[in-house]
């Protein structure tokens, strides 16, 4: 049973709930394995409120987000090919099907909550944008995507250092 390295992303579609995926990086494909639940670390907001009630709610969301991501990783560790065959919620994207891909820094004008990077994937069927919301996932993406995607990947984001937040920039 092959076990591939991976990372967690979320997609935000218009008029639909967010979807969390564990992306497994195979030798010739990316496996998007949909994780149960939608709570992530970004749902907690900035945490800069002075209201104790809001701080408590944000702390609960952060705890649920970490727990949810850990649970999703545990459930989706396995043979990605078999998981894709077992459910319509999971899908496989062959490298040859991908036109281009970009890892960009967060934008001030778009995005949902705090995140480390935007990942745009362009295929013949359309464009999809994902958010990478934790430093561990961004580091895993930077470690494994360039080797698989090669010239199809443009990297415009730096690695987070010691929990340092990446500054958002204007779209462009």
Domain definitions of the chain by residue range? 6-155
The topology under which CATH files domain 6-155 is: PH-domain like (2.30.29)
Tokens of 117: 């990077």
* Res 31: pLDDT: 92
Could you read off the pLDDT of 58-90 as tens digits, one per residue?
A: 677 767 766 766 666 666 667 788 888 888 888
Query: How many CA atoms, within 13 angstroms, populate the side-chain half-sphere of residue 42?
Result: 22
Could you read off the pLDDT of 11-28 as tens digits, one per residue?
A: 887 777 778 888 999 899
- Please tell me the distance from the alpha carbon of residue 10 to that of residue 94, in angstroms, as a whole number: 19
Q: Which residue ranges of the chain lie beneath pLDDT 50?
A: 41, 44-47, 168-172
- Please tell me the distance from the alpha carbon of residue 67 to that of residue 63, in angstroms, as a whole number: 6
The whole-angstrom distance between residue 138's C-alpha and the CA centroid of its chain comes to 8
| Residue ranges in the chain assigned as alpha helix (H) | 52-75, 80-86, 135-149
């Amino acid at each position: 049973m092959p076990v591939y390295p991976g990372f967690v992303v979320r997609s935000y579609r218009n008029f639909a709930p967010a979807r969390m995926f564990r992306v497994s990086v195979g030798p010739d494909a990316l496996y998007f394995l949909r994780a149960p639940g939608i709570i992530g670390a970004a749902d907690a907001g900035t945490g800069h409120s002075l209201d104790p009630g809001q701080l408590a709610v944000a702390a609960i969301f952060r705890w649920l987000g970490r727990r949810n991501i850990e649970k999703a990783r545990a459930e989706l560790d396995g043979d990605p090919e078999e998981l894709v065959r077992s459910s319509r919620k999971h899908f496989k994207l062959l490298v040859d099907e991908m036109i281009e891909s970009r890892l960009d820094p967060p934008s001030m004008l778009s995005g949902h909550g705090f995140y480390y990077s935007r990942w745009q994937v362009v295929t013949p069927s359309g464009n999809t944008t994902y958010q990478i919301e934790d430093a561990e996932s961004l580091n895993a993406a930077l470690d494994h995507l360039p080797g698989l995607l090669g010239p199809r990947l443009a990297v415009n984001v730096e690695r987070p250092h010691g929990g340092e937040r990446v500054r958002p920039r204007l779209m462009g």
